């Protein structure tokens, strides 16, 4: 309150009055505010009363005496603006600003800590997954096939959970839950059948026929959306991953020029263990990892132009950097393993791997966007679900196998 210090503020309350209601001067003072102070003290206690008025409309002070103020039953009515002092206002504002700054700093620290923990967890689990996958690829045979079948089963379950999510079911009818489970089992059996039968066409056709029959004969109203989502699940989660088995285990021609094979222990298969399929799988996996890593780092550093609305975080700049990293790793490893023999073939192989990885990544992003989720699951801490980690590999296996088998003469040896 902007009132003299000898005035007892605690005995005041606000009433609506105007200065002209008690001003004795002939100036017809304007009312300065609709809120005033009633001083419940005898006039004899004050003598002279100085009121300091503060605000945009009133500056300075008013000196009131007994001759000006009308006394009624030993009470005086005085006017004062009910505004805080400018000094107190400034101090309060500084305290508020200081509190807000401290709060923002605390929030920044609290937000950065989980991000650091998330990054650390992501790196640790990423390295663990990389080492494990590398060992599985080197082992080959039934070890590689069974590991792939397990990943396919989990990925198929995640896919059908996405199909049943609210975001997608708002516009379509998902297949019944028992059909989803049967499809997941069929998808997991496809890599095993590919290993032992050498081809997958007949089994896939038979599975699709049985699935379509089950959907058409179900109770209620069969919908085309049920059939299309189930069939795409068989193709996306089961048929496409089988090409990795055909690439790793089917191309058994020895990579005779690979120097690593000459020093490979005989107990682990010797030089015959290093086949075209093994070398092609290692180069393809490594180039996909390089593409994802370089695209992420390039997008963070110089990314400005969005690539597509399907995945807003991806940028053209990051995509170009990822393509360069993919080609570089493919070319370097082709020199290390002496496969393929020509540099243009190695560059073409790297470009093919990149386009397969980016197409698979965008396809899974489209499914998750329609489902309204960020991750396909939470199986891998810091990475999400299986589909979030293998989406770049789903289409790449078919492209890599077709390139090596069809376009490289004598498998590039």
Peptide bond just before 340 cis, omega within 30 deg:
yes
Q: pLDDT at position 284, please? A: 96
Q: Which of 67-81, 107-121, 191-205, 272-286 has the lowest mean pLDDT?
A: 67-81
At residue 140 the predicted structure's pLDDT band, cuts being 50, 70 and 90, is very high
At residue 396 the predicted structure's pLDDT band, cuts being 50, 70 and 90, is very high
Token duo for residue 79: 């006017």
Q: pLDDT at position 98, please? A: 55
Query: Residue 102 pairs with which residues in a beta bridge?
Result: none
pLDDT over threshold 90, residue 19: no
Are 337 and 368 in contact by the 8 Å Cβ rule? The answer is no
Q: pLDDT at position 225, please? A: 87
Q: pLDDT at position 378, please? A: 72
Count Cβ neighbours within 10 Å for each residue of 43-56 and write b for 16 or more, e otherwise. Answer: beebeebebbbbee
Conformational region of residue 135, where left means phi above 0, alpha means psi within -120 to 50, and beta covers everything else: alpha
Token duo for residue 294: 């370089």
Between 194 and 119, name the one with better pLDDT: 194
Three-class DSSP labels, 20-45: HHCCCCCCCCCCCCCCEEEECCCHHH
Hunting for tokens 């032992």 — which residue is that?
Answer: 196
pTM of the model: 0.71
At residue 124 the predicted structure's pLDDT band, cuts being 50, 70 and 90, is confident
* pLDDT, tens digit, 9 for 90 and up, residues 254-264: 887 888 888 88
Q: Where are the alpha helices (DSSP H) in 28-169?
A: 86-139, 141-163, 166-169
What is the C-alpha separation between 204 and 238, in angstroms, rounded? 9
pLDDT over threshold 50, residue 269: yes
Smallest CA-to-CA distance from 226 within 270, 172, 288 is with 172
* pLDDT, tens digit, 9 for 90 and up, residues 326-382: 999 999 999 999 999 899 999 999 999 999 999 999 999 999 988 888 888 777 666
Q: What is the mean pLDDT of residues 234-245?
A: 94
Hunting for tokens 């699940």 — which residue is that?
Answer: 233
Name the strand (E) or helix (H) holding 280. helix 276-302
Q: pLDDT at position 99, please? A: 55
The DSSP result for 365-388, as a single string, is HHHHHHHT-S-S-SSBTTTBSHHH
Q: At what angle do helices 141-163 and 386-394 cross, to 10 degrees?
A: 110
Q: Which of 229-233, 310-314, 381-385 has the lowest mean pLDDT?
A: 381-385
* pLDDT, tens digit, 9 for 90 and up, residues 309-332: 888 889 999 999 999 999 999 999
Angle at 346 between CA 244 and CA 239, to 5 degrees: 20
Phi, psi at residue 307, to the nearest 5°?
Answer: -80, -50
pLDDT over threshold 80, residue 180: yes
Between 10 and 148, name the one with better pLDDT: 148
What is the C-alpha separation between 32 and 24, in angstroms, rounded? 16
What mean pLDDT value characterizes the chain?
77
Q: pLDDT at position 40, please? A: 44
Angle at 123 between CA 119 and CA 129, to 5 degrees: 140
In terms of average pLDDT, the best of 17-26, 57-66, 166-175, 210-219 is 210-219
Q: pLDDT at position 117, please? A: 67
What is the C-alpha separation between 39 and 13, in angstroms, rounded? 7
Q: pLDDT at position 39, please? A: 45
* pLDDT, tens digit, 9 for 90 and up, residues 68-123: 444 333 433 333 344 444 445 555 556 545 555 555 555 555 555 666 666 676 67
Cβ within 8 Å of residue 73, ≥6 positions away: none
Cβ within 8 Å of residue 200, ≥6 positions away: 190, 193, 194, 239, 242
Q: What is the mean pLDDT of residues 29-58?
A: 45
What is the C-alpha separation between 194 and 36, in angstroms, rounded? 91
């Amino acid at each position: 309150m902007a009132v003299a210090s000898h005035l007892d503020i605690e005995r005041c309350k606000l009433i609506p009055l105007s200065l002209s209601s008690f001003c004795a001067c002939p100036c017809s003072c304007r009312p300065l505010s609709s809120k005033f102070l009633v001083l419940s003290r005898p006039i004899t206690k004050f003598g002279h009363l100085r009121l300091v008025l503060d605000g945009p409309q009133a500056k300075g002070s008013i000196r009131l005496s007994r001759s000006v103020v009308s006394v009624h039953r030993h009470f005086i009515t005085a006017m004062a603006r009910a505004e805080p002092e400018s000094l107190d206002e400034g101090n309060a504002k500084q305290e508020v600003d200081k509190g807000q700054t401290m709060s923002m700093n605390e929030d920044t620290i609290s937000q950065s800590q989980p991000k650091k923990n998330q990054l650390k967890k992501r790196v640790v689990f990423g390295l663990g997954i990389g080492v494990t996958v590398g060992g599985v690829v080197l082992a080959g045979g039934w070890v590689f096939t069974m590991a792939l079948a397990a990943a396919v089963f989990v990925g198929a379950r995640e896919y059908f959970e996405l199909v049943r999510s609210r975001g997608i079911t708002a516009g379509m009818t998902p297949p019944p839950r028992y059909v989803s489970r049967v499809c997941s089992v069929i998808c997991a059996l496809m890599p095993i059948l590919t290993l032992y039968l050498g081809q997958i066409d007949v089994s896939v056709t038979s599975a699709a026929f049985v699935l379509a029959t089950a959907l058409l004969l179900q109770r209620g109203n069969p919908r085309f959306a049920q059939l299309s989502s189930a069939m795409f699940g068989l193709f996306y989660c089961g048929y496409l991953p089988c090409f990795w088995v055909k690439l790793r285990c089917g191309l058994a021609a020895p990579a005779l020029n690979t120097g690593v094979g000459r020093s490979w222990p005989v107990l682990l298969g010797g030089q015959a263990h290093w086949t075209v399929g093994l070398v092609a799988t290692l180069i393809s996996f490594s180039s996909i990892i390089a593409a994802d890593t370089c695209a992420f780092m390039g997008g963070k550093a110089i990314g400005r132009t969005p690539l597509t609305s399907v995945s807003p975080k991806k940028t053209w700049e990051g995509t170009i950097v990822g393509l360069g990293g993919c080609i570089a790793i493919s070319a370097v490893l082709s020199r290390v393993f002496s496969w393929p023999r020509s540099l243009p073939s190695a560059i073409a192989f790297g470009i093919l791997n990149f386009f397969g990885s980016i197409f698979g990544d965008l396809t899974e992003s489209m499914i998750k966007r329609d489902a309204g989720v960020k991750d396909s699951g939470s199986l891998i801490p810091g990475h999400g679900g299986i589909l979030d980690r293998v989406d770049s590999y789903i289409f790449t296996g078919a492209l890599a196998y077709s390139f090596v088998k069809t376009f490289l003469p004598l498998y590039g040896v």
